[in-house]
Amino acid sequence: MVPAPLPVVLPLLVAAGMTAAGRRLSRRAADLTSILTAGATTALCAGLVVQSAHHYVVYWFGGWKPEHGIALGIAFVVGPFGAGLAGLAALLITLAHVYSWRYFEAVGTLYHVLMLVFLAAMAGFCLSGDVFNMFVFFELMSVSAFALTGYLIEESGPLQGALNFAITVSVAAFLMLSGIGLLYGRTGALNLAQIGDALAGKKPDGLVIAAFVLVSSGLLVKSASVPFHFWLADVESVAPNPVCAVFSGAMVTLGVYGVGRVYWAVFEGSLGSHRAEVRGVLLGLGVVTALLGGVMSLLQSQLKRLLAFSTIAHVGIAIIGLSLLSPLATAGAALYALAHGTAKASLFLSTGVLAHRFGTVWEDELHGRARRLRLAAALFALGALALSGLPPFGTFLSKGLIDDAARQASLGWVGGVTALASALTGAAVLRFAAHAFLGWGVPERGAPSPHEEEAETRGERWRTPAVMAVPACALLVLSAAITFVPGIGRGAESVAARFQDRGVYASQVLHVPAPIPAHHHLEPASPSASAVESGLGSSVLAVLLAAALVGRRRLPRGLGTRLAHVLRPHSSLLHSVHSGLVGDYVAWLVFGVAALGGLFALALR
């Protein structure tokens, strides 16, 4: 039995201890303590996944069990998705610490302390069953993430990134809090299950729709979906690479998880009568996010910004999975988060290797210089193919589940969108790799702004330390290993069926002891032939696209100029929209909330 609070409480206690020890703690001791703590948290979360496999683990803080369906205290309600996501976050933090062993100069123990608090916040957000408690963890996560973004204070980029991040995400938090206020005013409850019970069966009115829009917009800002995505690209262009690995690998996914958790636990009883409309709006959001992220990623020549936009594209695919509202699609989205999160984290760690060796991550400056880094080249190529959905990487399996679910809902075209988005992001990374490692083609045009020296590392640069390469390899192996876990698709689908069952959730949380839920009947879900075909197809498309971009000059004249023509005019518009100005970002954020509100108001009335 793993006590549910431990994944939160353990890192918090160690963080305080490390602060008390301060400079008395050597760098190595601080590294080791952090690795052990985050590693132990990973194990605790894995234990919680197993423990909650058939039944939610419900934990009432202070022992305040609910009476007559009314909660007086705060509960952790642990299911396999939440615990799994917390485990992914803990694993990435562990590997980030291993990787940082030789990586950058730490300022006392501040980096370690902030990473551990960040971990506790992510874990708490995933495990909580109380909407205000989720808000508090959202804020704790944000404050530590802002600081980690601004880590390299001696450059101008990190300050701008941290500022844009802090303003945008704080506004998002207040949107969420306003939504919580509305829900509390209506139901007099903060426990997700209890709010859900109070709203169930009633026609959605203005308050319910506004609360849903406010809470989910707040969470969608965290997940960087269009048009709330601007901050992520700025942040990941400048944050330290191990921190980016955690942001892209786990933090953005928490936003998508949060929307799902809140929708099925709270709003499903009221909005469920309008499934088709909810699906339509969320699907539109996911498709726009996936495609815009993919295109923007192809237009970047700074590697970290390229990877950031590719994360946006893949979040879009996860949102598409969520939007279909069926267990199969949700299972796909959950596995996709795992497969993409590990692959993307690996790519960010490999990016750190380039920054360590060459002091730059710009495509034109790296052109052909990295020929001798065979391992890094292989890591980039495999990571790119994992993004494009090549079997056996978990991305192909999970994307296949989403596509199958879309076909079942007579939305076959969705498969084309997910394939295209994966191919675009895969092609972007492949093109970068071909330029940097092989020196093919001509160097890309210079960057719009002066390049800054990457100051993350100092000292010897002539070889890649093993502690930097091993975590990146391990993550890629993990991303592929998902496919070989027997029955993982079916297992995830049955978990998803429970995740979507508001009645089971409410009864297990509020009315203890809860009945064992009826076993959901499921069709066996194994990687279908169509998933393999579509995975191979999008990978081939990615390779072809990358080859066309690298060898643009060698293509027949008409084709080459047409390709350049297709990418150029839109790109200047797209570039100018991503202006780096926080005022613009907040204006787009308000636009996004108003648009979502308008669409839901029209659809649900």
SS3 per residue for 62-79: HHCCCECCECCCCEEEEC
Minimum gap (Å) between residue 441 Cβ and another protein? 21
Q: Does 512 bind another protein (CB under 8 A)?
A: no
Residue 67: strand pairing partners: 70
Q: Among the candidate windows 177-185, 527-535, 536-544, 559-567, which touches another protein by CB under 8 A?
A: 177-185
Which of 146, 336, 380, 505 lies at the binding interface for another protein (CB under 8 A)?
146
Minimum gap (Å) between residue 604 Cβ and another protein? 12
Peptide bond into 227 cis (omega under 30): yes
* Amino acid (one-letter) located at 20: A
Minimum gap (Å) between residue 344 Cβ and another protein? 20
**Site map (CB under 8 A) of another protein, residues 39-78, x = contact:** --------------------xxxxxx-----xxxxx----
Under a CB-based contact definition with an 8 Å cutoff, are residues 183 and 131 in contact?
Answer: yes
Under a CB-based contact definition with an 8 Å cutoff, are residues 149 and 34 in contact?
Answer: no
Which of 261, 305, 340, 435 lies at the binding interface for another protein (CB under 8 A)?
305
DSSP string, 357-380: HHS--BHHHHTTTTTT-HHHHHHH
Minimum gap (Å) between residue 136 Cβ and another protein? 4
Minimum gap (Å) between residue 175 Cβ and another protein? 9
Burial of 347 (0-12, 13-18, 19+ CB in 10 A): buried
Under a CB-based contact definition with an 8 Å cutoff, are residues 483 and 527 in contact?
Answer: yes
Under a CB-based contact definition with an 8 Å cutoff, are residues 207 and 144 in contact?
Answer: no
The position carrying tokens 């594209």 is: 313
Q: Does 582 bind another protein (CB under 8 A)?
A: yes
Minimum gap (Å) between residue 227 Cβ and another protein? 10
Q: Among the candidate windows 37-45, 113-121, 486-494, 555-563, which touches another protein by CB under 8 A?
A: 113-121
Minimum gap (Å) between residue 124 Cβ and another protein? 7
Which of 88, 121, 246, 320 lies at the binding interface for another protein (CB under 8 A)?
121
**Site map (CB under 8 A) of another protein, residues 229-258, x = contact:** -----x--xx--------------------
Cα three-residue angle 122-123-128, rounded to 5 degrees: 105
Minimum gap (Å) between residue 115 Cβ and another protein? 10
Between 71 and 86, whose beta carbon lies closer to another protein?
71
Q: Does 132 bind another protein (CB under 8 A)?
A: yes
Q: Tell me the site size for another protein, rule CB under 8 A.
A: 109
Q: What does the buried/exposed string (b/e) look like for 389-400 if buried means 16 or more CB atoms within 10 Å of the residue's CB?
A: bbbbbbbbbbbb
Q: Which element (helix H / strand E) includes 60?
A: strand 57-60
Q: How far apart are CA 13 and CA 40, in angstroms?
A: 13
Q: Does 530 bind another protein (CB under 8 A)?
A: no
Minimum gap (Å) between residue 169 Cβ and another protein? 10
Q: Among the candidate windows 39-47, 138-146, 242-250, 504-512, which touches another protein by CB under 8 A?
A: 138-146
Q: How many CB atoms lie within 10 A of CB 557?
A: 8
Q: How far apart are CA 344 and CA 422, in angstroms?
A: 12
Which of 1, 28, 154, 459 lies at the binding interface for another protein (CB under 8 A)?
154
Q: Which of residues 265-294 bind another protein (CB under 8 A)?
A: none
Q: What does the buried/exposed string (b/e) look like for 408-431 if buried means 16 or more CB atoms within 10 Å of the residue's CB?
A: ebebeebbebbbbbbbbbbbbbbb
Cα dihedral 436, 441, 445, 451, rounded to 10, equals 10
Which of 1, 22, 513, 529 lies at the binding interface for another protein (CB under 8 A)?
22
Residue 78: strand pairing partners: 57
Q: How far apart are CA 450 and CA 304, in angstroms?
A: 16
Dihedral over Cα of 141, 47, 329, 333: its sign = positive
**Site map (CB under 8 A) of another protein, residues 427-456, x = contact:** ---------------------xx--x----
CA distances from 315 to 160, 294, 328, 387 (A): 24, 11, 18, 12
Q: Does 153 bind another protein (CB under 8 A)?
A: yes
Q: Among the candidate windows 160-168, 316-324, 343-351, 406-414, which touches another protein by CB under 8 A?
A: 160-168
Which of 288, 411, 586, 603 lies at the binding interface for another protein (CB under 8 A)?
586
Minimum gap (Å) between residue 278 Cβ and another protein? 17
Between 412 and 446, whose beta carbon lies closer to another protein?
446
Q: Which of residues 188-217 bind another protein (CB under 8 A)?
A: 188-190, 205-211, 213-214
Q: Does 143 bind another protein (CB under 8 A)?
A: yes
Which of 38, 177, 313, 320 lies at the binding interface for another protein (CB under 8 A)?
177
Which of 162, 265, 290, 324 lies at the binding interface for another protein (CB under 8 A)?
162
Between 418 and 508, whose beta carbon lies closer to another protein?
508
Residues contacting 120, CB < 8 A, separation 6+: 7, 8, 9, 10, 11, 12, 15, 140
Under a CB-based contact definition with an 8 Å cutoff, are residues 545 and 387 in contact?
Answer: no
Q: Which of residues 449-508 bind another protein (CB under 8 A)?
A: 449, 452
Which of 48, 95, 123, 166 lies at the binding interface for another protein (CB under 8 A)?
166
Which of 43, 46, 170, 439 lies at the binding interface for another protein (CB under 8 A)?
170
DSSP tag of 571: H
Between 354 and 582, whose beta carbon lies closer to another protein?
582
Q: Does 151 bind another protein (CB under 8 A)?
A: yes
